[in-house]
């Protein structure tokens, strides 16, 4: 089995990747190409990109691995689960077709064979949480504990497993509707944000205030059970009703005695910051309860965290302190977009027993454009530009004089984290910079922080804990003595969601920060994704041009070209 396509084709954030001889060669989210944020569209354009980037056609593919097993949704299950059936009609149709031929249901996966232009392509539908857990194959660990936590898979909402000898062994699971992801989404919606999309806004808002009474109230909604399990008090939630108008219900409103916030209500008041803080604290209580149990029965010091909840970098930054695990791996795409990587990895290792560690360090897996291609487009749209010799040095100088710049270089990142190829960059020494970017460029809420990208070798000088965070997966505390030097990237709780930049994996971005360091003696810059609110991160040259002119950006560095306003 040489050429494999991995897909996340169900739910939000559809995506595709291509694996050749056990190596991931390309990956992209459909939203980057369709320009429809968090799209549910089948990842047709993503498949096309993956094939094209490897010079292949669909009949060169040997197998397709999909991160969902719809047969599981056909089992007889409890009243909550049975309501799912009407929610997934397309899968139901495909699965019914198959179930006629198969009497026994394999919990882990099922496969079909497609005959395409005389070529047999095997299609594997793999259990969702097994795909999340398979991110362990992408880590550099040979053994680890694994926790997967999200809204829901087919039936599961979280799993605990051990990883050893190229095998994932599940220890236990928590079933939907008792779901940590759904708990967090409920309060995301309660505070006026979009559930299953804007959870990071709730996380950003969670650091401002504290209200012990409200925290206790929210804590009472979740019961921690033995063996890392938990149950929600379902009387207060609506997420398991798929015809739901909302995640929360009137019982929850009465219980909290706070009206849900509408998004057009203007700036958030204290009571919603209190809700955000309480929800975050309860989230962490459950998260660490799961992980601590895993540690108590695991001999490994290593932990892989995956599933949508692993996007919570505030909680991630506290894992080592709270759970006993020493080394943490969280990919930059732990959510469903990244499940396509897990699906392909599961297929080669667990189904085909090929024992192929798919270790992936570099997540720059999307499209890139040559200087020639960029120049043709700039001429076509009659945009004035300058070709610059040492663009890193030039951009660093502009940033150090207060300019806010767009940085469009190399291959697009896979995942929601801007890792220095499609980024907006600015001077972290400025106190005003956060408000300025929020207002003029991102058009977003004032309370949201911006992340620091720091030269890897300086991370322990600036942060209290010496942990690598190559993919912005952790929020760590700044050392007190440096806070006044970089106020633009210090959140109200004195943390920063850092990216440790390694010259081995992104030399251009490293050089840019190093040039900034030579000018300012500060080895870090403010780095946020190159997009404006409501839009996916830019992918093409045209996306970059549109976002540049629709925002208050001062300069754009695209390939070797500088564009000014």
In three-state form (DSSP H/G/I as H, E/B as E, the rest C), the secondary structure along 5-33 is EEEECCCCCCEEEEEECCEEEEEEEHHHH
Distance of CA 48 to the CA centre of its chain: 22
CB of 116 to Fe ion, least distance (A): 29
Which tokens hold the place of 270? 């204290």
* Minimum CB distance to Fe ion smaller for 159 or for 423: 159
CB of 132 to Fe ion, least distance (A): 6
CB of 250 to Fe ion, least distance (A): 29
Extended strands (E) in 429-549? 451-455, 474-477, 495-501, 524-529
* Minimum CB distance to Fe ion smaller for 150 or for 473: 150
Which tokens hold the place of 219? 């804590």
Which tokens hold the place of 222? 């979740």
* Minimum CB distance to Fe ion smaller for 336 or for 562: 336
CB of 107 to Fe ion, least distance (A): 17
CB of 377 to Fe ion, least distance (A): 37
* Minimum CB distance to Fe ion smaller for 15 or for 547: 15
Which tokens hold the place of 295? 């540690």
Please, are residues 409 and 421 in contact by the beta-carbon 8 Å criterion? yes
* Minimum CB distance to Fe ion smaller for 153 or for 410: 153
CB of 336 to Fe ion, least distance (A): 4
- 248 strand-pairing partners: 237
CB of 494 to Fe ion, least distance (A): 32
- Core vs surface per residue 143-168: b (16+ CB within 10 A) or e: ebbbbbbbbbbbbbbbbbbbbbebeb
Site for Fe ion in 438-457 (CB under 5 A): none
Site size toward Fe ion (CB under 5 A) is 2
Site for Fe ion in 129-168 (CB under 5 A): 150
Q: Which residue is nearest to Fe ion (CB)?
A: 150
First to last CA, the chain: 51
Place of tokens 């976002």: 547
CB of 134 to Fe ion, least distance (A): 12
* Minimum CB distance to Fe ion smaller for 199 or for 336: 336
- CA angle (348 as vertex; 351, 99 as ends), nearest 5: 40
| DSSP structure class, residue 220 | T
CB of 158 to Fe ion, least distance (A): 10
Closest alpha carbon to 5 in 44, 34, 37:
44
Distance from C-alpha of 557 to C-alpha of 228, rounded to nearest angstrom: 48
| DSSP structure class, residue 260 | P
CB of 38 to Fe ion, least distance (A): 13
Distance from C-alpha of 217 to C-alpha of 279, rounded to nearest angstrom: 10
Site for Fe ion in 241-300 (CB under 5 A): none
* Minimum CB distance to Fe ion smaller for 189 or for 336: 336
One DSSP character per residue, 414-453 reads SSSS--SSEEEEE-TT-SSHHHHHIIIII---TT---EEE
Site for Fe ion in 322-341 (CB under 5 A): 336
* Minimum CB distance to Fe ion smaller for 202 or for 309: 309
Site for Fe ion in 338-367 (CB under 5 A): none
* Minimum CB distance to Fe ion smaller for 215 or for 471: 471
Element (H, E) at 556: strand 555-558
* Minimum CB distance to Fe ion smaller for 309 or for 525: 309
Interface with Fe ion by CB under 5 A: which residues? 150, 336
């Amino acid at each position: 089995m040489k050429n494999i396509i991995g897909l996340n084709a169900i739910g939000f954030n559809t995506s595709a990747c291509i694996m050749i001889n056990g190596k991931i060669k390309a990956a992209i989210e459909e939203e980057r190409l369709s320009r429809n944020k968090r799209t549910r569209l089948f990842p047709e354009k993503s498949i096309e990109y993956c094939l094209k980037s490897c010079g292949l056609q669909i009949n060169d593919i040997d197998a397709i691995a999909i991160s969902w097993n719809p047969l599981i949704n056909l089992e007889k299950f409890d009243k909550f689960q049975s309501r799912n059936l009407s929610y997934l009609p397309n899968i139901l149709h495909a699965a019914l077709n198959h179930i006629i031929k198969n009497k026994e249901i394999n919990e882990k996966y099922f496969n079909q064979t497609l005959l395409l232009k005389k070529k047999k392509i095997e299609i594997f539908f793999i259990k969702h949480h097994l795909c999340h857990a398979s991110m362990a194959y992408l880590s550099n660990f040979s053994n680890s504990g694994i926790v997967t936590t999200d809204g829901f898979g087919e039936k599961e909402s979280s799993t605990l497993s051990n990883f050893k000898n190229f095998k994932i062994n599940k220890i236990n699971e928590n079933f939907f509707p008792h779901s940590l992801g759904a708990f967090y989404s409920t309060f995301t919606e309660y505070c006026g944000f979009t559930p299953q999309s804007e959870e990071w806004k709730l996380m950003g808002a969670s650091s401002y205030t504290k209200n012990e009474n409200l925290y206790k109230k929210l804590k009472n909604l979740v019961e921690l059970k033995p063996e890392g399990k938990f149950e929600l008090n379902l009387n207060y939630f609506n997420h398991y009703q798929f015809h739901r108008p909302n995640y929360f219900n009137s019982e929850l409103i009465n219980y909290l005695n706070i009206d849900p916030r509408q998004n057009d209500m203007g700036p958030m008041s204290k009571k919603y910051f209190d809700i955000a803080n309480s929800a975050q604290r309860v989230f962490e209580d459950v998260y660490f309860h799961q992980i601590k149990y895993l540690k108590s029965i695991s001999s490994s010091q290593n932990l892989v965290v995956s599933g949508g909840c692993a996007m919570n970098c505030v909680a991630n930054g506290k894992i080592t302190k709270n759970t006993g695990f020493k080394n943490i791996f969280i990919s930059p795409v732990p959510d469903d977009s990244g499940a396509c990587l897990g699906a392909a990895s599961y297929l080669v290792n667990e189904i085909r027993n090929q024992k192929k560690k798919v270790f992936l360090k570099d997540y720059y897996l999307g499209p890139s454009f040559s200087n020639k291609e960029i120049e043709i487009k700039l001429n076509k749209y009659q945009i004035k530009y300058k070709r610059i010799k040492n663009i890193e040095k030039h951009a660093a100088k502009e940033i150090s004089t207060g300019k806010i710049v767009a940085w469009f270089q190399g291959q697009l990142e896979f995942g929601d984290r801007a890792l220095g190829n499609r980024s907006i960059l600015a001077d972290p020494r400025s106190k005003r910079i956060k408000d300025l970017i929020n207002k003029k460029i991102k058009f977003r809420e004032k309370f949201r922080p911006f992340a620091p990208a720091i030269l890897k070798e300086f991370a322990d000088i600036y942060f209290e804990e010496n942990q690598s965070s190559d993919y912005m997966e952790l929020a760590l505390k700044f050392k007190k003595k440096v806070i006044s030097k970089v106020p633009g990237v210090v959140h109200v709780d004195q943390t920063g969601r850092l990216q440790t930049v390694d010259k081995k994996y992104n030399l251009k971005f490293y050089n840019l920060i190093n040039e900034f360091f030579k000018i300012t003696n500060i080895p870090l810059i403010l780095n946020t994704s190159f997009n404006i609110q409501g839009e996916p991160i830019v992918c093409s040259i045209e996306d970059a041009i549109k976002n540049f002119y629709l925002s208050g950006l001062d300069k754009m560095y695209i390939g070797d070209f500088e564009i000014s306003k």
